[in-house]
Structure 1
Amino acid sequence: MSASETAPIRWSARMVRPQADAGVGTQASFVAKSFTVAVPSGNEVLHISALGLYRAFINGKRVGNDLLTPGWTVYDQRLSYQSYAVGDLLVAGENRVEIWLADGWMRSQLMWGKAPIFNTWGKDIAAIVELRAAPGLDEAVLLTDDSWESGTLPILKSGIYFGEIFDARLAPTVTAGTEVLDFDTSILVPHETTPVRELEPLPVVKSWRDDEGRTVYDFGQNAGGNVAITVKGAAGARVIVEHGEVLDKDGQFYNGNYRTAAARIEYILAGTGEEHYWPYFTFQGYRYVRVTIEGDATLSDIVSVPVSSVTELKAGFSSANPLVDRLFLNTVWSQRANFIEVPTDCPQRDERLGWTGDAQVFAGTAAYLGEVHGFFRKWVRDVMADQREDGAVPHVVPDPTRMYPEGYPGFYGSTGWGDAIAMVPWQLYLHYADKAFLAEALPAMVKWVDFVWSISDGPIVKPPRAWGARGFSFGDWLQPSGPSAKPLPTIGDDAAATIYLFITSSLVARIATITGDTATAERLSRMADEVKAAFAREFITPSGRLAYDDQTSYALAFLHDLIPEDKREAAKAYFKSAIVRTDGRIGTGFIGTPALLPALVKIGEPGIAAQVFLQEEVPGWLYQVKMGATTIWERWDAIQPDGSIYNPQMNSYNHYAYGAVCQWLLEGVAGFQPDPEAPGFERILFEPVIIPELSPVKAHHDSPRGTIRAAWTVEGHRVRYDIEVPAGSRGVLRLDRYADITVNGQAVGGTSEVGPGRHTIEFTFTPVPGLALDKVEINARTP
């Protein structure tokens, strides 16, 4: 068993360092102890944690099946421990416990380029263990102290980015003792999230030999995990595995985008017959592997074994368009690969960091696709631990740069990124009705909002351009710029930052009201009103055009009601014109993309939303699917139409951020979402966006209250919409844009309520056309 959200135990054990350890990047080591148990009760519990990564064995049998334990937290302030029932592993008489240790996130390389960081949270790996006779007992059967011994392991080197080298000719060998470290056990917390576990293995779908005799294997799916191999041969023969996400233009193995991450597995044979190996203390992001065999050995089997903290799929979506269905599946796989203890940006290159901006835009989608309550709650606590004194939130959490700021000065404080401190808890409230966590995180949210205000000491935020300067903003990161001869206009950092100050101050005011903090709610409401008024003065012209006249500006401003009523119609026309200028394609980056389609629907243009979503050229969601993607790309143009690879210095093929569109597929197209006034799906809002080209549509979500289903088909102008409301929930139908509505055969108005169970709704649908892209749609005049 693994503990979650339980009361911390009182520790008597000490954190002990293996004296056999020679430091980062060297041969892995272990600590061990033999002990006697007269008669096992069968109720014994092992409490365990480590500095670095660990894997525990009792009498040669593995303890539990969690991976990459104790996980990744802000190690100097919060270190997880796990609790396992181990009574079935003990015997009467002499027993032996052995704890394998490795560098892991704590001290193997983090960050990239010319400033990699090693020993981020310390130079010593170590373990702390208490074996207790039964749960809840303070008396220990065994605990770590300086009487434990240590030694070396067959793992010659391991690292998160590096990979692993395993020499099967070696056995764990005792060579030294242990040393007690000065360690504060008060920072130990029960493991707060779902553990990392292996998923169903993926077989090889294709293999071939390259010109140098190496074998390339294609598993058909980009994933985060490791390959498992079965091999037979002579002692000392070596199997070398390299990883890659894509093939190059000529169909050759490629991993230039991994930058300084070696992403390499080496296995040295023992020569004892059939041998099996799956790495212990690393993971990689890959679809392809290239295998080199040195010496006398034959590989008889190889499979890809994905790993994730999100192991159970909680939602599904299908339609008449296979590209859309595959886009949904690609998002699922990107979440799996990047939800490994922390919501990372990518699982392959020398990064794999908990970028706050990515998590902020994707949290709502993530809560539909998997069980992420504990996962995000744990991570937000890390965000709070890493938050700076002035309220600035780091770009990445856990934040290696806080410990080593000289290489990455000022790596915090970007609007759209730091707002994760409020956005993610809000999604946990919507999906799980976790009001207590809103209250827990509220002070950190308030500090962040006040920090953003302080950047320019007022409602208009003017972030500095220089990296590392206080309040630097990524803006609408990776927004496509169009042809180089005439780049398309993009939102300015000042507008983006000001919009986000409004969004988050409004949200935190609402959260303060929910949690009963009236004074904070009133102060931040006044702040939001001031920002809204200032935005209108600064960024909206008398004609209704926004200052930067780009898709992100209009999408965010419309979605969050920042445009005055008397300018809305003109602004709508300018919004549509911005889409005409991009030939009906996406013109948004990280913060604008999730808002684009919902904003178009909100202003009464579902036809344009469908047109932008379904177009298959770059930039576009379906373009990457057409190009063979099995996960979401970091860049819209990660592979050019001719198959050439974009600049490898920043080009990941497994980034979930743009997969946030799946939230719109469920909430918009399928049409169900939680009601903020009755969260946790106590009340479910049903409001589908009918896109005839997708008919028939089916979707479901396994919510905390039960399975929600929605499906619709279009015949002419008539739509049949079938829904299922779980027991204990209520449904609210919002069908004001449709006519001739019946529910279970009875005529109703545009808004009505339904109880638990299955319901059939029918209504008349009048299609709203998209844009004529061969002409400009606007000729607005200043009044």
Structure 2
Amino acid sequence: MSTPRTSDPIDRSIVVAAPRFEQLTEPLGIGVAAPRVSWKTRIEPGDADAAPFTQTGYQLETTRAGVVTLGEVIDSAEQVLVPWQFPALSSRESASVRVRVRNGGGLWTDWSEAASVEAGLLDPADWVAVPVGPAWAEDLEAERRPPLVRREFSLPDDIAAARLYVTAHGLAEVEINGIRIGRDALAPDWTVYGQRLTYRSYDVTEALTAGDNAIGAWLGDGWYRGRIGFHGGYPNLYGSDISLIAQLEVTHHDGRRTVVATDSDWSAGFGPILASNLYFGEHYDAREERAGWSEPGFDDAGFTPVAIAKRDPATIVAPQGPPVRCTETLRPVSVSTSPSGATVLDFGQNLVGRLRIRVAGERGATVTLRHAEVMQDGEIYTRPLRGALATDRYTLAGADTEIWEPRFTFHGFRYAEITGWPGEFDPSMVEALVYHSDMERTGWLETSDPLINRLHENVVWGMRGNFVGLPTDCPQRDERLGWTGDIQVFAPTASFLYDCSGLLSSWLRDVEAEQLDDGTVPWYVPVIPGGAEWTPIRPGAVWGDVAVLTPWVLFERFADRGVIATQYGSAKRWVDLIDKLAGEDHLWNEGFQLGDWLDPAAPPHDPADATTDRYLVATAYFAESAKRLAETAAELGLADDAAHYFGLATAVRAAFVGEYVLPSGALTSDAQTAYSLAIVFDLLPSAEQRSFAGARLAELVREAGNRIATGFAGTPVISEALTLTGHVATAYDLLFEDKCPSWLYTVKQGGTTIWERWDSLMPDGTVNPGGMTSFNHYALGAVADWMHTTIGGIRSTEPGFRRISVRPLPDARIHSASAAHESPYGRIEVSWQVDGDSFSARVVVPVGVTADIELLGQVTETVTHGVHEYRIAAPAAAVAALV
């Protein structure tokens, strides 16, 4: 290894982007002392004809406290999550990092721009803050009024820098000297609070001043002590207090540090929020506002000393993913008056968030906002919300114009009913704010067919609405839980559309935290009581397999070996448990199973009563998880484990064939889901069996009139199963079908997100009578992964899209399509169109990626970075036959 000299020749045709640390786009307060580093390289504009570039080495440089340190030259082509080369960061320490890379000819690029990373509080001993909140009267069932907490302090005039580290028992928004800190909402995220409570770090230097200062926080119940769960929910799941934990650290020019932390010197009082609940909504009385409450010199009459709660600082952890933020604002597309006389706004999109109003009127007037996903008979229809009231109220102070949005609640809605509006209603005074985890968008697909495009948009919106701090099943009713099966089937789609690596890696830590000692994975994480129907935590296929399959997806899509290493123990405990339950015959054919949940043939009152044998589903998943665990072990260098679990997977596969495959080649469950799982999970050992299964699956689809007949287990794999066995046209028939049940049925019925049930809205326009009927569930949108790989033609074949297959399989009903994915190495683009007698395609491959391009059965061409264009003589009518 050597250090390049400043006189070394430079390859200026390649530009290296500023590096990134771990999976964070905002690495202030990072919780890793030795953060992994990633970077992207690109061809300089104007140098499209530059010689092919292959990285053969790299070098990092850090600047810490003004001292520049060059790392060793590493002879490697790796550029994603490479190890930190320098002494570990200490708490609060910052560093700027640059990188340059060497090509195969020995030339170096210029240094990248520097990126900064700063450690948070890495040692529990760094925390001196304690939880502080109001001294409640002990009525544990009461819906208590959300408080304010505050403190004043003084600083000298030599402020060099200041950081605020903050979390809460409940939810918190902090202000310093009247200035809101950050744009984060609903913070901290919902985690297994007893073991993992996330904090955020903020640079608050500009908010402070020499002399008198004040800090304060709005507090809300949130998930910590608010009612959460089915049938009205349960309060105080994690504690009965509502408390702020905050540590403001001010660094002076001489290196001294002043710490203002939550302690007994704080006081608590009430503000204008009278009630706030995630399900029920928020009531804000502007007459109760306390002007200047977070500024120095405030008259704190009515504020009393805080109560101090308990928190083990070892459980306070830095976040791995982005915070929840407002990412978009929508205006009403129409306004109507309901038969009951209420004003109803239609925002044209089922979304997750809340309303912001601008209103003027008499003091004491109250505006009431109710939310719903659908309308029935001209009124908003709230039955699907069950116990979630989804109602916000604002009582006016009587000022000229008052602007308000709730703080500590969110709703899933397309329609909003407004009553009590003073004077003539003006729809421009109301807007919907879209809230979700502020992940980077990384995937796109557009075709010549507007209905297919709308379906894809529905998948995107469904993901946005259900990634609010963690992956949930639905965002609107009295549930909103982190169901493990939903994200297990949707993770491949999610990881193409957004960089959800940090969020899901964090949530998987909670999965392991809630996993029982015997390996059982709960149905939803975090766990809450849910009534007799759901309270038992017991093993279940599809859902529990999240412990194995989702870490593997994150490794495949983001090249994050760390997540499979971290989750390996959890994954192994799950497979070992199923091995024990299955016994010597390797068949998981006993016990409770949800099976192919929400098969459209299942009755509304029994969504688990599917066409496919639930134990066939369980055994198929047992085989798949054993195989993926073996691959995980091999990737981690655990040879003995790899051999054991490969052997187990083979044994389960043989057991599956012996139990569920008839001599004719048919399956004992002659159903779409059964054949789809057997094909995609590679459970049929002979080519003849696979061919029969594919042909029978295609036949079943045709017999059903191209209507879908799968639930949560079968839907993610049916299109891929048809494609793998040469029935692409039938997969497209499924996609283009618009009668119930089908994907386009939901689009033609006006759906703007993915529904929980194929017929959440019945053909006659009425809402499904089932007790669980959501209009925003992403699981059945898992078909988008097939759309990305088959219509868009982008498939990762090596972790992180380091190598890709570009193989779009067009259909005569789509004349053109384009797909893009911002991979860890850069942006991949594929576009194609059929025009008369020719098929043309354009493929953009980023630096560091190798692409195997196969178009319409032509010989595969292997290419590296650059723009690659093709034109093939192929009449439009013959396209389907060619593929």
Choose the corresponding residue for 1:437, options 563, 572, 576: 563
Helix, strand or coil at the partner of 2:389? coil
SS of corresponding position for 1:241 = strand
Instruction: Give the Cα–Cα distance (whole angstroms) in 1 for the partners of residues 303 and 475 of structure 2.
Output: 35
Residue equivalent to 1:353: 481
Which position in structure 2 is the counterpart of 1:760?
869
Structure 2 residue aligned with 1:196: 324
Question: Could you list the per-position Cα deviations for residues 149-183 of structure 1 after superposition, in whole angstroms to 9, with x for gaps in the alignment?
Answer: 11112111111111101011003464321122232
Q: CA deviation at 1:40?
A: 5.0
Aligned to 1:17: 133
CA distance in 1, matches of 2:396, 2:363: 5
Among candidates 489, 503, 506, match of residue 375 of structure 1: 503
Say whether residues 1:497 and 2:606 are aligned partners. Answer: no
Q: Which moved more, 1:452-461 or 1:633-642?
A: 452-461
- Structure 2 CA distance, aligned partners of 1:407 and 1:646? 21
In 2, Cα distance between equivalents of 1:489 and 1:280: 42
Name the structure 2 match of 1:570.
692
Report the CA distance shift for 1:682/1:292 in structure 2 as closer, same or farther (over 3 A): same
Of residues 141, 147, 171 in structure 2, which corresponds to 1:29? 147
SS in 2 for 1:342: coil
Residues 472-511 of structure 1 mapped to structure 2, 5 A cutoff: 472-481=592-601, 490-511=611-632
Preserved CA contact (<8 Å) 1:46 1:129: yes
Pair 571,312 (structure 1): closer, same or farther in 2 beyond 3 Å: closer
Indicate yes or no: 2:521 matched with 1:521. no
Question: 1:406 offset after TM fit, Å?
Answer: 6.8
Distance 1:764 1:513 in 2: 44
- Give the counterpart letter for 1:582 in structure 2: A
Check conservation: 1:146, 1:179, Cα contact below 8 A. yes
2:403 counterpart of 1:276: yes
Alignment match, 1:631: 753
Aligned position for 1:468: none
Alpha-carbon distance in 2 for matches of 1:573, 1:544:
11
- 1:617-665 superposed Cα distances (whole Å, 9 cap, x missing partner): 1111111101111111111111112211111521111111111111111
| Rounded Cα–Cα distance in structure 1 between residues aligned with 2:184 and 2:712 | 33
Q: Whole-Å Cα distance in 1 between the matches of residues 198 and 474 of structure 2?
A: 23
- Checking the alignment, whether the CA contact within 8 Å between 2:441 and 2:497 is kept in structure 1 is yes
Between 1:280-289 and 1:698-707, the stretch displaced more is 698-707
Task: Give CA-to-partner distance per residue, 1:676-727, whole Å, 9 cap, x none.
Answer: xx31121111121121211211111122211111111224664222211011
Cα gap change, 1:646 to 1:448, in 2 (>3 Å): same
Equivalent positions of 1:129-528 (< 5 A) are 129-134=246-251, 139-172=257-290, 174-248=302-376, 250-293=377-420, 301-401=429-529, 408-462=534-588, 464=590, 471-481=591-601, 490-528=611-649
Task: Name 2:163's counterpart in structure 1.
Answer: 45
| CA pair 530-228 structure 1, distance change in 2 beyond 3 A | same
Retained in 2: the 8 A contact 1:20–1:177?
Answer: no
Query: How far off its partner does 1:763 sit?
Result: 4.4
Change in Cα spacing, 1:18 to 1:254, as seen in structure 2 (3 Å) is same
- For residues 642-681 of structure 1, what are the structure 2 equivalents within 5 Å? 642-647=764-769, 649-675=771-797, 678-681=798-801
Once the two structures are overlaid, the 10-residue window that deviates more, 117-126 or 534-543, is 117-126
Shift of 1:73: 0.7
Task: Report how far residue 336 of structure 1 moved.
Answer: 0.8
User: C-alpha distance in 2, partners of 1:616/1:4?
Assistant: 48
Q: Distance in 1 between matches of 2:517 and 2:651?
A: 25
Structure 1 counterpart of 2:332, one-letter code: V
Instruction: Determine if contact 2:370/2:390 at 8 Å carries over to the other structure.
Output: yes
Q: Aligned to 1:122, which of 216, 233, 239?
A: 239
CA deviation after TM superposition for structure 1 residue 482, in Å? 7.9
Alpha-carbon distance change, 408 to 483 in structure 1, aligned in 2, over 3 angstroms: closer
* Match of residue 200, structure 2, among 75, 78, 82: 82
**Cα distance, 1:148 vs structure 2:** 1.2
Which secondary structure does the structure 2 equivalent of 1:68 belong to? coil
SS of alignment partner, residue 161 of structure 2: coil
- Maintained 8 Å contact 1:20/1:152: no
How far off its partner does 1:576 sit? 2.5
Task: Check conservation: 2:360, 2:422, Cα contact below 8 A.
Answer: no
Structure 2 distance, partners of 1:309, 1:96, is: 29
SS in 2 for 1:636: coil
C-alpha separation in 2, matches of 1:648 and 1:42:
60
Q: Which amino acid aligns with 1:503?
A: E
Rate the CA distance shift 1:138–1:261 in 2: closer, same or farther, 3 A. farther
Quick check: 1:613 aligned with 2:722? no
Q: What secondary structure, in the 3-state scheme, does the structure 2 residue paired with 1:423 have?
A: helix
8 Å CA contact retained: 2:327, 2:438: no
Specify which of 823, 827, 832 is matched with residue 707 of structure 1.
827
Task: Give unmatched runs, 5+ long, in structure 2.
Answer: 1-25, 34-121, 291-299
Q: Per-residue CA shift, 1:357-377, capped at 9, x if unaligned?
A: 110111111111112111111
Higher mean C-alpha deviation, range 23-32 or range 405-414: 405-414
Q: Is the 8 A contact 2:364 2:397 kept in 1?
A: yes
Q: With structure 1 as the length reference, what TM-score do the two structures score?
A: 0.91
Kindly state the Cα deviation for residue 564 of structure 1 after the two structures are TM-superposed: 2.7
Over 3 Å counting, the alpha-carbon distance change for 1:31 and 1:461 in structure 2 is farther
- Preserved CA contact (<8 Å) 2:597 2:610: no
**Matched-pair contact (CA < 8 Å) for 1:310–1:372:** no
Q: 1:58 and 2:150 equivalent?
A: no
In the aligned structure 2, how far is the partner of 1:511 from the partner of 1:499? 18
The one-character-per-residue Cα deviations of 1:317-345 (angstroms, maximum 9, x if unpaired) are 11121100001111111111111101111
Offset of 1:567 from its aligned partner?
2.5
Deviations 1:476-533 (A, max 9, x none): 110111899xx99711111000000001110010011001111211111111011000
Count of residues in correspondence between the two structures: 745
Deviation of residue 298 (structure 1)? 5.9
1:272–1:611: structure 2 CA closer, same or farther, 3 Å change rule?
same
Contact 1:234–1:297 at 8 Å: present in 2 too?
no
For the 8 Å contact 1:42–1:86, the answer to whether it is kept is no
TM-score, structure 2 as length reference: 0.81
Give secondary structure in 2 for the equivalent of 1:358: helix
Determine if contact 1:481/1:490 at 8 Å carries over to the other structure. yes
Structure 2: which amino acid aligns with 1:18?
Answer: P
Shift of residue 59 of structure 1? 0.9
Structure 1 residue 279 displacement after superposition: 0.6
Output the aligned Cα RMSD. Answer: 2.3
Give the aligned partner of residue 722 of structure 1: 842
Q: CA deviation at 1:5?
A: 4.1
Question: Deviations for 1:737-780, whole angstroms, at most 9, x for unmatched residues?
Answer: x44x3xxxxxxxx333101011123446655579xxxxxxxxxx
Report if the CA contact (8 A) 1:361-1:590 is conserved.
yes
Is contact 1:496-1:553 (8 Å) kept? yes
Confirm or deny: 8 A CA contact 1:327 1:625 kept in the other structure. yes
Check 1:42–1:606 CA distance in 2 against 1; reply closer, same or farther (3 A cut): same
- Which residue in the other structure is 2:38 paired with? none
SS at match of 2:869: strand
Per the TM alignment, residue 603 of structure 1 is displaced from its structure 2 partner at its CA by: 0.3
- In the alignment, which of 705, 709, 731 is matched to residue 851 of structure 2? 731
- Residues 103 and 483 of structure 1: is their aligned pair in 2 closer, same or farther, counting only changes over 3 Å? closer
SS of alignment partner, residue 169 of structure 1: helix
Residues 412, 266 of structure 1: alpha-carbon distance in 2 compared, 3 angstrom cutoff: farther
1:780 is matched with none
User: Which residue identity is paired with 1:291?
Assistant: I
Shift, 1:580, TM fit? 2.8
Deviates most, 290-299 or 90-99 = 290-299
